[in-house]
Amino acid sequence: MPNRRNKRLHRAAAVLSLLSLLVALLTTTSGAATASPASPAASGQSRAAATSAPGGTSPASLGQFPPTFTGPAAAGCAAASCSLLTGPFRTPSTQSSASGPAAGRQPAQAPGQHTMPLPVLPRASAVRSTSGSASAAVPTVSCQPLGPGCDTVSSSAGGAVGVKGLNAVDSGTLPTNPQGDIEPPDQGLCAGRGEVVEANNIGEIMVFDTALHRLSAPIPLDTVMGLTGRGWSSGGDPSCVFDADHGGHWFFTEIASASTEASGGPFVGCFAGVANKCFEAIAVTVGSNPFGPYNVYFLNANYNQAEPGAPNLLNDFAKIATSRDAFLMMYDEFPLNPNNPGLGGGSFNGAQEFAFDKNAMEEGQPVTEPDGSPNVGFNVAIENMGLLPTPDGTCFSDNQSQSPGVTCWIQVIPAQPPDPSQFDDSHDGSAFMLATLDFLGQGDNRLAVFDWTGLHGLNSRNCAACGRIQFGGQLFSNVLSYNNGSRAAQKAGPIPLGDECGAAGLSTGTPPPASCPEGAIATNGDGVTQASQAQGQLWTSSETGINQTFSSEQAPEAHQGVVYWVVGTSGFDRHGVFSLSSQSYVSPQHEDLTMSALAAEGFRYQDGGNGRAIVLFTLTGNGGPTGADNGGFFPSTAYGRLTSSSNGVLGSAINIADLGQSPQDGFSEYQGFPGRTRPRWGDYSEGVFLPGTGRIYFANEYIQFPNCTGADFTLTLRTCGGTRDDRANWGTSVNYVVP
């Protein structure tokens, strides 16, 4: 499986033109965070003014650039042969197949297991930065005495209501999934109108009402996207958003592979680096019903055959959002054929940002006219961030060792507003993205905020007004530091698959060990995975290793925690400059956190809301060296309340919304033991505010049921009374809480 994430498109027709553009960009920005600021499009206001922020941090310009491409979505680059988007392809409503228990399931014989690609870029440890800020010490918080950033764990749900969501049985026995068990279960969630929709790997959704009563059985995204009829397969990384504009529409996205499920799906197609197999499927409901019908579009990750690494490019870790004018999508672009490298000869091409004409997608407009020419009423703006310099170099070469594919922008995540009242209409239509900067895997203390401006231009015929569209960024230095950390511990408990890992064919060696030990929960580095936009603020978080100090202990305890940031947009609206409103660590005493996300209420105090948000995550741990909390926690869904100025969770309290019932006991925990294993968990969680309810809905992975032991566990699907599969026991929770 590839260890890196996808790859996108490119503006020039040849590498030479890429290099020429890069030289021009470097001339504009000097390759540093202190470049001369430019004016927002159609604004005339300077971005040079600095505003005060916590800790004395002030933003510096990362430059402002014309998009890599603007024009009809059917094109996508300067070369005539480029074809970015196709569609729409109409798929029928899933309402009739969604009611009642899932039927037509696979037989109770395990067909195998597959681990999804990692969402993080492996770091070259030999590379050392000269920036002075790319290497940051592990942060430390005081837990005894209790200080900022260290928190207590409450067994109370704190008013949260939760139900069991999708689980390994749902995924492993899905009629359209002959691949068997999948880890990890990437977590999508969206809410609107009167429904809440959960999405999960390898490709399924489930619909709830606002009281979290199930309205459907698991619905395959293969069906929603019409993949089966095309001979294609789901590749996971699902995301969804509800856009309340224009009567309301649901967007669902996932990787799609042009290879059949029966032949091995994405694991023999897109993920295997086979040429021209990787697509991003985008389903948009015709109306406001999440069951559809749908208009489906396909973005070809290899639409520009002149892109370095094409036609073997992977569109990985896609995240989506909406603004007043645009459907926003980001993915990371990876060349998967080592004999066909990417920018500068590297193996990563950087983050790719798309802004599609949202009106056209919600109207179901065709990408091309009947004669095959591009529909000039359906536009897109593209920013290939692999061409933009970072403070530590470029995607072509880092500042120290001149290695390609290392100092590239990665996981630059678009921020999603909860409803149209939260859209930012400044500078002729704006939208925002956030990213951390630990390119070298040595820790960092910087946060980048990027912006689209001039997005109203997408509504112009043949993109006539797209010259106003600009892509810019600002850098906050000396924010709270963060680092990749390590795996998160979990409470000891029964692991029936671990006890049978030899018989399951998971361990290796001569002879392979008959049993495998309980391990820790995987974490996914220190990149941004979700961003929210509400209350005139941008909200995001990252995982980080963290040291907890106790006056009663001689040495600090090393744990996994969360760091979050709140960035104000009002200064950007008026003067083109963001401000850092708040930042803090979140770290439960003696325990660990992973897979965090932030979601904010849509209304400020002055608008009738309480101005709050939540940070959600998986809580897990073994109680540290003292065995606190009765030996810790099995992986559980938890959260804390906060505001844009609280500088930490309110009351230093973390509430457990759904208590985990057993250790993680999945195949990726043991596969390859006693060699190096990579246990997988989550990849991302999700939270969203639903207007009209006062609630934030959130979803996360946890262990739903106690692990059975002895004869109750068998190496067949739907074992232990159907509470788990033989190769996986993950589950999810879907929750709501009034913040």
- Asked, for residue 133, whether it belongs to a domain, the answer is no
Beta strands in 168-300 (DSSP E): 181-183, 187-192, 195-200, 204-209, 219-220, 233-234, 239-243, 249-257, 278-285, 294-300
- Sequence-distant (6+) residues with CB within 8 A of 684 are 119, 186, 187, 524, 529, 530, 595, 597
- Asked, for residue 34, whether it belongs to a domain, the answer is yes
Q: How far apart are CA 634 and CA 618, in angstroms?
A: 10
Question: Both 462 and 575 in a single domain?
Answer: no
- Over residues 124-132, the mean pLDDT reads 39
Q: How far apart are CA 605 and CA 123, in angstroms?
A: 43
Q: Of the residues 451, 477, 503, which one is the last residue of a structural domain?
A: 477
Q: Of the residues 477, 512, 546, which one is the last residue of a structural domain?
A: 477
pLDDT, tens digit, 9 for 90 and up, residues 94-104: 988 766 444 33
Q: What are phi and psi of 282, to 5 degrees?
A: -130, 110
Q: Of the residues 477, 494, 525, which one is the last residue of a structural domain?
A: 477
Residue 1 predicted with pLDDT over 90: no
- 334: pLDDT confidence band, cut at 50, 70 and 90? very high
* Domain total of the chain: 2
- Asked, for residue 715, whether it belongs to a domain, the answer is yes
Predicted local distance difference test score (pLDDT) of residue 610: 75
Question: Both 311 and 374 in a single domain?
Answer: yes
Question: Both 539 and 390 in a single domain?
Answer: no
Question: Both 448 and 355 in a single domain?
Answer: yes
- 671: pLDDT confidence band, cut at 50, 70 and 90? very high
- Over residues 670-688, the mean pLDDT reads 92
- 224: pLDDT confidence band, cut at 50, 70 and 90? very high
Question: Both 601 and 716 in a single domain?
Answer: yes
Predicted local distance difference test score (pLDDT) of residue 121: 57
The share of the chain scoring above pLDDT 70, in percent, equals 87
| Mean per-residue pLDDT of the chain | 88
Residue 723 predicted with pLDDT over 90: yes
> Does pTM surpass 0.85?
yes
- Asked, for residue 187, whether it belongs to a domain, the answer is no
Beta-sheet pairing, 470-482 with 59-65: antiparallel
- Over residues 265-293, the mean pLDDT reads 97
Question: Both 91 and 164 in a single domain?
Answer: no
Domain holding 5, by residue range, is 1-102+209-477
Q: How far apart are CA 562 and CA 549, in angstroms?
A: 16
- 87: pLDDT confidence band, cut at 50, 70 and 90? very high
- Asked, for residue 24, whether it belongs to a domain, the answer is yes
- Asked, for residue 188, whether it belongs to a domain, the answer is no
Q: Which residues pair with 589 in a beta bridge?
A: none
The lowest-confidence range among 74-83, 141-150, 699-708 is: 74-83
pLDDT, tens digit, 9 for 90 and up, residues 517-576: 999 998 888 999 999 999 999 999 999 999 999 999 999 999 999 999 999 999 999 999
Pinpoint the alpha helices (H) of 134-234.
Answer: 168-172, 221-225, 227-230
Per the CB < 8 A criterion, the answer to whether 571 and 538 are in contact is no
Query: Residue 112: left if φ>0, alpha if ψ -120 to 50, beta else—which one?
Result: left
pLDDT, tens digit, 9 for 90 and up, residues 642-662: 999 999 999 999 999 999 999
Residue 33 predicted with pLDDT over 60: no
